[in-house]
Amino acid sequence: MGQFWVQINTGTASFIVTSSILPNTEFPQFASERLAAWDAAGGLPFEPVSGDWQMASGHDDAAYKRLSTTIDLTGASSASLEFATSYAIETDWDYLIVEAHTVGADDWTTLPDSNGNTTQDTGQSCLAGWVNLLHPFLARYMDAACNPTGTTGAWHAATGASSGIENWSIDLTAWAGAEVEVSISYVTDFAAGDLGVFLDDVAVTIDGSPAVATSFEDGLGPFTIPGPPPGSAPNNSDWMRVGILFGVSSMIATEDTLLFGFGFEGISTADERNEVMARSLEHLLGE
């Protein structure tokens, strides 16, 4: 379609292309493609923020997916972990958490995002018994009454849908003088789910200076995928290094249909409206 400008308001919408989930080769009856995408500040959710690659958790039920790294802070006085993320997580049942512990010690805790994207709500999965039935490791972060304090640490997590791409900052200063293992983890309940977590532009800052950074262009960087903690069943799948999995779109086309996430009245100029209409008719008439 080329570039044109639309006033974004409460009447606009975004869609995910069906064929990004059900491939055309297997499901030709649902063949579809992205014709346009929003020019979103900071990038589109579920797509790489920098370069062509990102990490994606995917979704499986009863999963505990960790992306882990060890950070040496033995000579440091302060440190933080930053990353960009977008996510679609089953609200109050599945969670994104950042776990940390001193290497060699069982002092695990989850950490809050300094930018306010986490809460201490333990949600419905705790009430349904997922600590006892699925993920006993979570007892370190929440108690039997679903309070956000466990045997070694506290609960801080995100659930639901992100506000586009979120920039997280995790304070690691408590481990200054030691080695700390950090895991960015996607933890799911008994059934159902959403797209999962997407992660890019991970960086570690030590004493105010950049120490480690990766956007996963050449691999996992300093990260490993260790699998679930003791007590959880093996994951059916795990974190994946991917490009664009789901095309977030403002316009979607099938062979004989166009779906718009905006009204023509929102297109900025008459010339742009005419161009969009002309190209739309060309598509529908097969010209």
Q: How many domains does the chain have?
A: 2
Evaluate whether residue 72 is within a structural domain: yes
89 with 188, same domain?
A: yes
Evaluate whether residue 7 is within a structural domain: no
pTM: 0.86
Evaluate whether residue 181 is within a structural domain: yes
Nearest-angstrom CA–CA distance, 254 and 276: 16
The 10s digit of each residue's pLDDT in 107-117 is 999 999 999 99
Q: What is the chain's percent helix, strand, coil content, to nearest 5? A: 15, 30, 55
206 with 191, same domain?
A: yes
The 10s digit of each residue's pLDDT in 198-230 is 999 999 999 999 999 999 999 999 999 999 999
pLDDT of 286 reads: 84
Name 167's Cβ contacts closer than 8 Å, sequence gap at least 6: 42, 82, 83, 84, 115
Evaluate whether residue 10 is within a structural domain: no
Evaluate whether residue 228 is within a structural domain: yes
pLDDT band of residue 4 (cuts 50, 70, 90) is very low
126 with 175, same domain?
A: yes
- Domain limits for position 265: 15-37+247-285
pLDDT of 9 reads: 55
pLDDT band of residue 2 (cuts 50, 70, 90) is very low
Residue bearing tokens 């649902």:
30
Helix (H) or strand (E) holding 54: strand 54-56
146 with 200, same domain?
A: yes
Evaluate whether residue 44 is within a structural domain: no
The 10s digit of each residue's pLDDT in 17-48 is 888 888 889 999 999 988 887 776 677 888 99
Name 3's Cβ contacts closer than 8 Å, sequence gap at least 6: 39
Nearest-angstrom CA–CA distance, 254 and 102: 53
End-to-end, the C-alpha distance of the chain in Å comes to 15
